Structures are given as structure tokens and as C-alpha cells.
Amino acid sequence: MGSNMAENHPVGFQWVMEAKLRGTPVIHVDPRFTRTSANATMHVPIRAGSDIAFLGGLVNYILEHDRWFHEYVVAYTNAATIVSEDFRDTEDLDGLFSGWDAERRAYDEKSWRYEGVDTAGPAHRTGTVSRSESTGALGGRTIHAHPARDETLQHPRCVFQLLKRHFARYTPAMVEAVSGVPQQRFVEVAELLCSHSGRERTSAIVYSLGWTQHSVGVQIIRTAAIVQLLLGNIGRPGGGILALRGHASIQGSTDIPTLYDMLPGYMPMPHVEDVNLEQYLADHRASGGGWGNLRAYLVSLLKAYYGDAATAENGFCFGHLPRVDPDQGTYRTAMGMLAGQVKGFFLPGENPAVGSANGKLHRMAMANLEWLVVRDLFLIESATFWKDSPEIARGELRTAEVKTEIFFLPAAAHTEKNGSFTNTQRLLQWHHAAIEPQGDCRSELWFYYHLGGIIREKLASSTDPRDRPILDLSWSYPTEGRLGEPSAEAVLREVNGWNAEGHALSGSGELKDDGSTTCGCWIYSGAYADEVNQVARRRPGQEQTLVAPEWGWAWPSNRRLLYNRASADPSGKPWSERKKYVWWDARKRRWVGRDVPDFNATKPPGYQPPEDAWGDGALPGDAPFIMQGDGRGWLFAPSGLVDGPLPPHYEPNESPFDNALYKQRANPARVRYDVPLNPYNADRERYPYVTTTVRLTEHHTTGAMSRTVGVLSELQPEFFCEVSPRLAAERDLEQGGWADIITARGVIRARVLITERVRPIRVQGRDVEQVGLPWHWGYRGIVRGDSANDAFAIVLDPNVHIQEVKAATCDIRRAEGPRR
Amino acid sequence: MAKPYPPPAFVAPAKPGEPVGFFTDSSICIGCKACEVACKQWNNVPVDDIRYLNSSYDNTGELSANSWRHVAFIEKKQADGGVAWLMNSDVCKHCKEAACLDVCPTGAIFRTEFDTVVVQADVCNGCGYCIAACPFGVLTRREGIASHPETNGVAQKCTLCYDRLSGGEEPACAHACPTKSIQFGPLDELRERAQQRVADLHAEGRTEARLYLADERDNGIGGAGSMFLLLDEPGAYRLPEHPVVPTRRLKEIWGAAAMAAGLAVAGVLFAFGSSRR
Amino acid sequence: MSAPPSYYGRPVVKEPVWSPEVAVYFWLGGLAGMSAVLGFAARLARRPVLARASLLAGFAALLACPPLLIADLGRPERFYNMLRVFKPTSPMSLGSWVLSFFGGALGVAAASEVTGWLRPIGRLGELGAAIFGLPLFTYTAVLVADTSVPVWHEARHHLPFVFAGSASASAGAAAAILTPSRESGPARRLAILGAGVELGAVAVMERQLGRVARHYHHGPAASPARMARMLTAGGALLMVAIGRHRAGATIAGTMILAGSLAERFAVLRAGPASARATAGGETVRAIASELGRPPRPAWQR
């Protein structure tokens, strides 16, 4: 659901096919019938933007029909935990939770806490609108390891009862009304899911950008997490929630992040109010669970960054870290460019002119920069907007007036450099350079390493304190070859970390908080254990067990299934013989099994923590969710999300419908940018159809790596839209003809593909048509076309600032031919 | 434990003297076209026609000198109101009695030690006979490709990656196929697997599944090195029902020619005989 | 009954790529082959004028053949590969060898005839040319019939007669034009007989083709087909009526020659049209007795 796996992860989809061939039902819930649907057991058409209604309906069904996995839920989730008496649900406030501040457009989530916790979290203290990591996704001081619980699940304010109440109206009839999925169909899906869960069976949920790219994206995923926790599917083989990432190593790009608000290993970036290390740790360090070691992770990271300059006396150069003022995301940056606040921009391997929502805004924004550095394999649209963008063609922008100085520096391809990919299952795999890059092409590693070297050289004699963060950096990797390519393996080793003696660490358990260890990313510690590049291991699968631990290396600690303690019951025995995965061996006094246990290997199931224990020691032997402060899976999220502890159905920012469940129509916390270049579709009559961006197998993201390749260009040469025969008749569209898709942002033109695979959906008593738009085209390349993202406005999920391009509205009209 | 279907990725190298080929199970094809791309890359087949063909997701169209693997896309409305999307990767059939090989006057087309049919691009002089002879419309002549002057004017088709087989590898398309819809191996093994597969599908109620060219005796080409599992009639996939190699009728054609020549001689005799001087 | 399924209307069989040069070759090859037979018969019947005319007409036609064939090739510079192998299953292979031997023999015969040297060798050449001439004017029919193109393959029993009749008509017509009326009797008679066989075979062929014959009445083959039949019939009738006069024979002969050429164009052009029509299942099909058979032995494949 929210995924077109066969088309966009075809290699990974072979495992789904194999499962299907062994009798596994494969259910594909999607607005369109895609190549995934063609190979699924069942396709369920759904209205784009109604996923929480559907998933919430599953929660309702599971609870109503008593299909939840009792022992698992009571022991392993926070179902029994009692929540503050100040908490009010969306059922009470007609679509809002308690704590909504309409002026700040943000929640004060104090009333969402567990009962008895009255300490303020960082967001409350700063009074600013924050992102999820800043609001204590790690748990921080706001989560106690042992909150008050009612194991009978009867207490009116226990999570279980709150959950029941929250989803009470998400009946099959409501699911049908809101999402368009007929009740009978919905019940069929629910029954399949329930009957394939429990001790003997497990079910997995797979999602991709079809869930993330919504203004309620995180809450959609949360609802799925609730479903899977209730069914006891998390941490068990064949279960779980698989997030399919959008490209080859974007998992790595969040692990060792290219995101402004995180430090490596998902530690929050310090906020402007985090004046020193201790303040930061006080806000974020959890008392229980894996985040209890935050100090060790962060200090080791600072040692990796600043080497000898980082000492206990100077807080390990914590002060050198950049500070986040809540929103410095890509869209806020674009706004900053328009406002003249952002002068310069580096664009390595990113193409916002085509890939970001509201392409025109980004092109106009970049036209306002003083300088722009683009590093890519080809001259992408973001590098040439000044001469061939639609704005130039339309005369809205004139080349002579664009003052941006643009540097295009050709990049090396992955076959021309050593390095790693981290794929969607957290697996790191090494790739070796097959040839040297040609001409001026260079790797990112080469570029930033040598750029940093040049900058440090220029600043070498500076006494300005502002330059100390650059000069204090530990900045020396061995370089190789004619080009002086920094050794990627050396970087990996630093990421893995080493101890005081300089020996490579075997895992994050060895990290110390006193500055004696160095580690570039605590979750990757172990990737270079024993001075061996574990990531480069390639023992053939047929020589290994099912889990194949000697192919590559997965984080953390080469654990291939997260939270796998949950595959055994509280006493340490597998839930069933059929689904055994890891279990407690009483004789060996350790956890054993098919995988590395995602648990303290020697902590017995019966362990009860002493009063003053902290970190992992504070969690009992039957708490599998070791990164949560209370060791349990959160049905109810008392902290960490800015838009609610439970997921309510909200309509997309642009929708033909009102919210059938609450007065609050859309996510109140969603991020909007009300600027002239970002108009929203206000008039429902004018834009009566639902539209969604989609992907195709043949192309890759903005087309920079596929529309520049002949064999791929000929497989899908033209930008097309998918419409139902009924919509085609209504708007006089011709098969193979052209159409204009119109929104408040402008007009894009596409070939028309009329297909039965797209059908009108009946929602709230009337039929609505949906238009599918593959977003791979731009104005460069062997094959060119209009960009789908030009049609969408910028409106973001408030937790992670991902754009909502999977559900919006539009009009569509017949056009007579291609754009001239 | 029952033999898993489809088989694991590891395939034993082809042995000279042992007929090998493809079993393409279209019921597990996901339409990704990795086969088309892998084939083009390995065999240096040129990009030739960048055009939106208005046929679902198929912009390749059909097999040709520049498309040795072609994935067909057929959207079908079902009786129950639902929709099905059939996908199949078509390829040269490597007929056991190959029309192209029979008619090739230069001997450019030959049968390899793997019982596959290959065009030697450096021998073919582009006479075009194989193009008209092939019952499956596989071959065309490569023309007008500036980037590939050495094979200009020459007939081209799938070689079943003869060079890869000779090196102990499986064909590029089979290697790239993520779901193993394209399966490579000894034909006996593939045939058995195909028969089991279609039986399994019928047991599941999918009675539209059928094998094509798996049996050497239900067609007029003596069987093929490429067999298929189809989910519709062959015609829906641009495949001929009951194909036959024209060579099977060659004797009778020469017979007619001999009679016609005889008639001409008789005519000459009569023309002279009836004119006495 | 619902329409048979097709894949977006795409033909099952590819269109033949043979260019107009090939149609001209069919005509000239047929003319040359039968001229050699006619000339040899004339030699035996002690009609040296007719023999010489046939011989030289055949030789002139022959000279144009290799360039025409070579021009049609995708790689003309590799024309010699036609003689790289000898392949009985390939009418084109056999034909290349036949043309080569025929050409050699006819060349010897023509040289001897023109120079007057080595008469006995020349006579041998005429014999050789006559022997190889027989397959020469029929193998081209075998060639087109031995394909998967329905309008050709389904006419496999009749096309050799069409081509034989056409070749005879052409040879007779050419000789009749080049020979004084006193001597050209047999040639004229051959032309008329050949034209009759040609037209008769075409009629039988079209009837037997059934629906497939429409490619001779609609599409690119229609015009040459019509012209062929009109010219051939008209020419034959004229040859009967006024063939006794040199001028009449010339007019009639020219019409017959033109009709024969047009008929070759008709056949050639019908091919691609028929191939295009194979979408939807109008293909050549195996018959029951061809099923249930194992393949040919390995060495024959």
C-alpha cells in the first residue's frame, strides 16, 4: 500500500513473487492498477489521500472483532500504559488534540504524556515550532522507563481504551464512504490480514512514497505501525513494515544524513537553544533504552569530527556544531532564495527544478541566487534553467536578467569510485571502482574533501572564532591514485570508529562517553569490525543460512530483522515453532537463533531492572523495543510527533471533499507556504479531479539518469497522463492524443493514456476521477516533456517536511497537439 | 521439500551438445523490461526508434534487428469488471526446424553446438530471405543506424547470447530478469518445469494459462528453443497459431517447379513441332 | 463471431524487403533461362537465325541480372557470399549456383556465337545453358513460395506455372521481335502458349487463394496485376492476329514482355501487403499431418 513495488523495486519484488508462488496472498491497495497490481493476488482501488481512513478501519476491525494478539500487545506495546488526564482526543475536539495553539499553528504536547510525567520537553521549553526529532523523538526526559500501567487494559485512560475510542467511528461503512473501498472488499482484506497474523503466521506491510508524500505521511505510517503492533507482526519473520526508499542509497542519506535536522545515527541536530552539550543531553537523552547512551554516541561523533581539538574541557567542540532554527528544509531554503536570504547553493545529485514540488518556484528561486554549484553526471535542468526552462520559453524569465553564477562540475558515477550503498533493508554493500573517472569528473568524496582542504588552507591563519569550527575539524584521509581520491575505506573505518588504542570497534556497545572512542555514525559501528571491511563481504547466498549474514553488513550490529526479541514470548520461547527466529537459550544463558538478536545478548527474559538503572539496563528482559524509553512499541506516541499521538484521518490540503469524520478538514499542523508563487487550488469546482504523481520502472526520479540514456528513453519516450475511459469521454480526450493538466500553479501538457486501470472512485456519495502523472520528465535529455511537479503546490508533512504530491486536485482538458 | 518455483538464480553452464533455451513464464513477468535493456547492452544493439507507440506501456513494438527482446503489454477487461494486464517477453524462438536457417543462402545463419540459431553478422550480406521466411516475424535488416556501420544492412536477431553460453554464463536477459520469468537451461528440464507450472495454474483455476512451443509435436517447426507460458491466445501476443516452417513443403514446391519446367519444354517442343518448314 | 485477437494490429510476419530490382530480375532471369531453352531447341531444329536471336537476347538479359541482385543486397560488397555454401534447403542458394553455371555456359555460348570461334564448345555451352535455364526460370517462384508470406506460400503449387508461363511468353516475344517473321514462327507460338499458361495459372492461383487473393486486387499490387493481365492477354491476341508481320510481332511482343514484367511486379508487391495482413491470424498454418512429428534429424537442421 502506498507503494508500486514491482515497478520501482523490481529486483526486490522478486521476493514478493516468490512468496506469492508459495501461497502468500499479496494485496495491492493503490489508486491505479499498476504492474504491481497485475502481479498481486488482489488489487484494491482506493482514493488517493484516504489511507488513514483505510488503515484506521483495519484498527477498528481488529479491535472490534478481537483479532489482536493479546499476549504480544499486553507485554510488548504501551497498550496498558496510562496517559495524562489532560489528554483530549480528536473525538473530543472534533479533529484536534488537546494542546493546539492556533496562533503558533502548533501543538503543546504536554497533555499527551504518560500519566505522572510533568517535565517539559524541549519544544515546550523553547516555545518554538519544532520538528519531530527536536520534540523528543528519542524520548528524552519525558519518557520514563516504567510509567503507570493497567495490565487488564480496562483503565479509561490506558492507551488501549484511548485507541479504541479514537478509531471507534472507522467502521467499514466509514471506510467505504471516505476511501471508496467497498465494505465487502475492505472486510476481505481485513480478514486476510487477521487470519495471516498471530502465533503461526505473520503479515508484512510494504510502503513507499505513496505514503510518505502526504501532509499526513508520518501519521499514515503510524497507523500501519498500530495495525502491525496489534497483530503482533513487528520483530517477527515475515512481518514488519518495510519502507521502500526512493532511490539506491537514500537510506544511507538519512543514516549519515544529508538532512539538516539530524546528526549521523538519527541524533537530533542541536537547536539554537542548546547552548552546550549538557543542555542538549538533558533534553534528549532517554532514561531508558538505547538512547540512554546518547552521550557516548554524540561524544564519539564529535571526536570523529574534531579529533584532538575535541576535549572534555571544551564539551568536545559541541559548540562548533551548526544550530537548527526549526525549518531549514529544502522548501524553506527555496523561500529564502526568493527572499534574497540565501545567496549560494550546492546541488550535488539533486534536481529541484524537476524533482521538488512546484518546479517553477524552485527555478525562479535559483534564478535569484548569487551563485550555484551543480555536481551531476549530466547538465540537469537545475543547471540550465537560466536558458531553457519553461519560464524562459514563456518569457517570464530572461536569460540576460538571471544574475546567478552557475558552476557545473561533472561528477563521477558509482562505477568510477569506491564506496557503499545502504539499501532499503539497512543493508550496506560496497561497490568497487571499475575504472577511473574521465576528464574532470570527480566523486563527491574527492570534491568535498579537497574543497574543505582549500577552505582550511585559506582560513589557516585566521583568528576569527567563527572560523574555528572549520579549522578544528579533523580533516585528513589518505588519498590514492593519480587523482588523489580519498580512501573511501578509510572513511568507512572512521564511521565504524576506533577505541583509545586505535583499534576498529566491533560495535556501538564499545562506545564511551569520555572522548576515548571515535565513531562517525554509531548505528554503523561494527561495519569495519576486526579491521575488515564487513560491507564488502560477498559470501554467496547459497552457502549461507536464510538470513545470509555474510553478505554485506546491516545496521545495527548486522541485525537483519529489527526488534527481533519480539519473535519470542516474554519468557524467551518462540511464539511458535513455525515462526521461531531468536530465543533464549537457558543453558548458554544467552539469546540465540537465526539472526543477531536485536537485544542485549545476555539479558535474561526475566530480568527486572533496579530502581536507579538507566539506558538499556532500565529495560526489563521482556521489552523488545529497545530504542523506546519504555522499551515498548508505541500504539500511542506520547512524544516525537508534532501533529498528534494518534492518527486521525485528515483530507489532503487540496481535496474535492470535506472531512467526513471531523470538522477539522486537513492536518492543522501541515506546513504551508503562502507566497505568490505557491498558490493553492481554492476552488473545488474549478479543479474537480484528484491527481497523484507516480513512477515508472523505465525512468528514475527526475530523469537525469534515464532520459539521458538511449535504451531507457526509447522504453518510455513521452510524458503521459493516465485517465479512465469515463473521464476521457467527459473531457473529450483521445487515446494517444494530448491533454492539459491545470492547477493554480499552471498548465502542463501530456500524452493521453486512456486505461481501465484507472477508475472513478465513489466517495461520500459521488464519483471522483483520478489522474495519474509520472513525474520523470523535464526540459533536458534525449526525451523531454513537461514536469508533473510543476502542477503541485508546496505543502508539507509537519514532522519531516516531505511534500504532498500524492494527493491534490486538478482539471484536465483536451489539447490539440504537443507543446510547440 | 517440493522444488521451489521458479528455480534459484544459479544455473549450470550450458554443455555443448545439450540443447538449451528459454522458458518464458509470462504469468510471473512484471513488465520491467530489464531483459530488453540487458540484451541491448550486452549485444550492443542500437537504440533505433524513440517514439510513443500508444500501445499501453509498450514503446518497443515488436521484435526486429534492433529489438531482440520485446515485452508485450495487453490490458484486458475482465468479465467481473476487473482488469488484467498481461505481460510477456517475446524473443526469437530458436526453432528446431528454423526457416531462417533453411533459406539463408550464405550460410550466415547456423545452428550452434547448443542447438541454438545464430546469424553471423560478418557473413550475412543482407539478402533479406530470412525476414520473409520466419513464421514469427523475428528478423529484420538493420538499416540506417549511423552508430553501428559494421552491422548496417545485415539481418539481426537474438543469438541466445552465444558468446555468454560459450563462456559458461546464461543469456543476459535471463540473468537480468528479477522474477526469473525468463528461465534458461536444458530444454528437457525447462519443458518438465513448464508442464508442472501450467498444471499448477490450472489447479488454481487459471484455465487461460497455456504453453506455447513447449511441445515439439504440436507445431510445424519441430519444437523450439524458446517456450512460453501464455495467458491468452497466441494471436493476442502477435504469435502465430500452428506455425510451420515453409521448408516442410519445399519438396512439393520443387515438384511443382519441375512440372512447370516440364510443361515449358513441352511447349517448346510443340512450338517447333507444329511448324514444319 | 468475435474478431481474432491481434497485438495492436501488428503483423505476425515481417514484410519482405526485396526492392523493385528483384522484380526486374525475376523477369530478366526468366527471359534468359527460357531463351536458352528456346535457342537450344532452335539449334536442334536447325534454325540458326532464331537460335542466335534467342541466344543473344538471353545473354543481354543475363548481363543485367547480377547487378540487379547485388543492388538489392543490404551489404552489396558481400555478394560473393552467395557462393559461400551450397544449400539444398535454400532456393536462393540453389538459384545462385544455377545462375552462376547458367551464366558461365551462356557466356561461352554467346562468345562462340558472336566470334565464331570454338563452335563445339559453344554448342556445349548452349546445352549447358538450356539445362540450367530450366531451374533458372522456375526457382524464383520456389524462392518466394518458400516463405511465410501467405499470398506467396499458399500459391506454392501455382506460382511456378505462372513464372514458367511468363518466362516462356517473354522468351518467345523477345525472339519474335529480334527475328524475321519467316524464322520466328516457333517463337511466336511459344509466346502465345506461354501467355496462355501464365494467364491460366494466375486465374487458378487466385481462385485457390480465396480471400488471400485480394492482395492482387487491392493495394500496391493491384495496378501492376491489372496491367499485367491486360498486356499479356492483349499481346497474345495481337500476336495471333498480326504476329506474322514483323511490326505486328514487335508490338505484340513488346506488350507481352511488358505484361510479363508487370506480373512479376504484381507478385513482388503482393508479398508485403500479405505480410501486413497477418495481424489477426491470417498466417500460414501447419496442417494436421505436419503435427505430431519429431523434428528432422540433427544433421539436417
Cα–Cα distance for residue pair A130/A268, rounded to 1 Å: 11
Q: What is the pLDDT of residue A127?
A: 44
Tell me how far apart the terminal alpha carbons of chain B are, to the nearest angstrom: 93
Q: Which helix (H) or strand (E) holds A471?
A: helix A468-471
B15 occurs within a structural domain: no
Distance of CA C198 to CAs A456, C164, C204, C205, C250, Å? 94, 7, 10, 10, 20
- Mean pLDDT score of chain C, rounded to an integer? 96
d(C-alpha C72, C-alpha C34), whole Å: 23
Are B257 and B138 found together in one domain?
Answer: no
Distances (CA, A) of A431 to A115, A416, A440, A455, A478: 50, 9, 21, 30, 19
Instruction: Tell me the C-alpha distance between C223 and C213, whole Å.
Output: 14
At residue A138, the pLDDT reads 61
Interface of C with B in 23-52 (CB under 8 A): 34, 37-38, 41-42, 45
Note the pLDDT of residue A120.
53
Examine the domain organization and report whether B169 and B264 are in the same domain. Answer: no
Whether the Cβ atoms of residue C260 and residue C172 lie closer than 8 Å to each other: no
pLDDT over threshold 60, residue A126: no
Asked if A532 is an interface residue toward chain B (Cβ–Cβ < 8 A), one would say no
pLDDT one-digit tens code per residue, C157-166: 999 999 999 9
Residues of B in contact with C281 (CB under 8 A): 235, 240-241
Q: What local confidence, expressed as pLDDT, does residue A238 receive?
A: 96
Report the b/e string of A184-216 with b at 16+ CB within 10 A.
ebbbebbeebbebbbbebbbbbbbbbbbbbbbb
Q: Are residues B190 and B261 in the same domain?
A: no
| Any domain includes B9 | no
Q: Span C66-95, mean pLDDT? A: 97
pLDDT value at position A324? 86
In a domain, B196, yes or no: yes
β-pairing verdict for A241-243 and A205-207 = parallel
Q: Which residues of A touch B4 (CB under 8 A)?
A: 18, 21-22
Same domain as B275, residue B145: no
Asked if B148 and B261 sit in the same domain, the reply is no
b/e B177-192 (16+ beta carbons within 10 angstroms → b): bbbbbbbbbbbebbbe
Segment holding A59, helix H or strand E: helix A51-64
- Which of C139, C168, C279 lies closest to B264 in CB terms? C168
**Residue B258 covered by a domain:** yes
Flag whether pLDDT at A765 surpasses 80.
yes
Rounded to 5°, angle at Cα A191 from A189 and A192: 65
pLDDT reading at A305 higher than 70: yes
Looking at residues A487-501, what average pLDDT do you find?
97
A720 at B interface, C-beta within 8 A: yes
User: What is the per-residue pLDDT for C280?
Assistant: 84
- pLDDT tens digit string along A604-647? 999 999 988 888 999 999 999 999 888 999 999 998 899 999 99
pLDDT tens digits for range A515-543: 999 999 999 999 999 999 999 999 998 89
Question: Using CB atoms, which residue from B51, B87, B178 is nearest to A14?
Answer: B178
Chain B residues lying within 8 Å of C165, measured CB to CB: 260, 264
What mean pLDDT is reported for chain B?
95
Q: Are residues B259 and B188 in the same domain?
A: no
* pLDDT for A119: 57
Residue B274 shares a structural domain with residue B217 = no
For range B211-229, the mean pLDDT: 95
Average confidence (pLDDT) over B178-191: 96
Whether residues B143 and C281 touch (CB distance < 8 A) is answered with no
The grid cell for C161 is 506455372
* Residue-wise pLDDT tens digits, A715-730: 999 999 999 999 999 9
Confidence of residue A146 (pLDDT cuts 50, 70, 90): confident
pLDDT at A130 over 60: no
Residue A804 backbone dihedrals phi, psi, to 5 degrees: -90, 95
d(CA A306, CA C186): 110
* Residue A537, number of CB atoms within 10 A of its CB: 16
Q: What is the pLDDT of residues A188-233, one digit of tens each?
A: 999 999 999 999 999 999 999 999 999 999 999 999 999 999 999 9
To the nearest whole number, what is the mean pLDDT of chain A? 94
The H or E element that residue A774 is part of is strand A770-774
Q: Are residues B276 and B237 in the same domain?
A: no
- Interface confidence: ipTM more than 0.85: yes
Stretch B140-167: mean pLDDT: 96
B85/A13 touch (CB, cutoff 8 Å), yes or no: no
A395: pLDDT confidence band, cut at 50, 70 and 90? Answer: very high
In tens, the pLDDT along A332-373 reads 999 999 999 999 999 999 999 999 999 999 999 999 999 999
Q: Is the pLDDT of residue A134 over 80?
A: no
Task: Quote the pLDDT of residue A142.
Answer: 63
Residue A137's pLDDT band, with cuts at 50, 70 and 90, is: low
- Residue A161, amino acid: Q
With residues binned 3-state (H G I as helix, E B as strand, rest as coil), the percentages for chain B, rounded to 5, are 30, 20, 50
State how far the Cα of A778 lies from the Cα of A707, in Å rounded to an integer.
9
* Residue range C148-169: mean pLDDT, rounded: 98
- Strands A766-768 and A761-763 turn out to be antiparallel
Give pLDDT, residue A140: 60
Q: Look at residue B1 and tell me if it is in a domain.
A: no
SS3 A262: strand
Mean pLDDT, residues C53-62 taken together: 97
Angle (CA) A606-A608-A613 rounded to 5° is: 145
Q: What is the pLDDT of residue A121?
A: 55
Contact A38 B31 (CB under 8 A): yes
Q: CA-to-CA distance for A376 and A529, rounded, in angstroms?
A: 33
Q: Is residue B6 part of a domain?
A: no
Q: Sign of dihedral through CA atoms A652, A653, A656, A660? A: positive
Rounded CA separation A343/A525 (Å): 37
The total domain count for chain B is 2
Pair B227, B260 in one domain? no
CA distance A27 to chain B (A): 15
Question: Quick one: pLDDT at residue A129?
Answer: 44
Domain of residue B268: give its range: 252-277
C262/B contact by beta carbon, under 8 A = no
Per-residue confidence (pLDDT) for residue A743, from 0 to 100 = 98
Same domain (yes/no): B66, B136: yes
User: For residue A586, which of A573, A575, A569, A570 has the smallest C-alpha distance?
Assistant: A573
Answer yes or no: is B163 within a domain. yes
B191 and B152 in one domain?
A: yes
Rounded distance between C-alpha atoms, residue A146 and residue A535, angstroms? 38
Q: Is residue B5 part of a domain?
A: no
Is the pLDDT assigned to residue C301 strictly greater than 90? no
**Statement to judge: residues B111 and B228 lie in one domain:** yes
Confidence of residue A466 (pLDDT cuts 50, 70, 90): very high
Q: What is the DSSP letter of A598?
A: S
B7 vs A511, more confident: A511
B contacts of A188 (beta carbons < 8 Å): none
Domains and CATH numbers, chain C: 20-274 (1.20.1630.10)
* H-state helical runs in A653-737: 710-713, 725-730
C residues 74-103 lying closer than 8 A (beta carbon) to B: 74-76, 78-79, 81-82, 84-85, 87, 89-93, 95-96
CA distances from A349 to A252, A704, A802 (A): 14, 9, 18
- What the block records as the C-alpha cell of A573 is 520461547
pLDDT value of position B47: 95
Which pLDDT score is estimated for C254? 97
Report CB contact under 8 Å: A757, B8: no
* Residues 6 or more apart whose Cβ sits within 8 Å of residue A599: A564, A565, A582, A591, A624, A626
| Spatial separation of the C-alpha atoms in residues B88 and B73, rounded to whole Å | 7
For the stretch B35-79, pLDDT in tens is 999 999 999 999 988 999 999 999 999 999 999 999 999 999 998
CA torsion C113→C119→C120→C126, rounded to 10°?
A: 0
- Please determine, for residue C242, whether its predicted confidence score (pLDDT) is greater than 90: yes
* pLDDT value of residue C3: 79
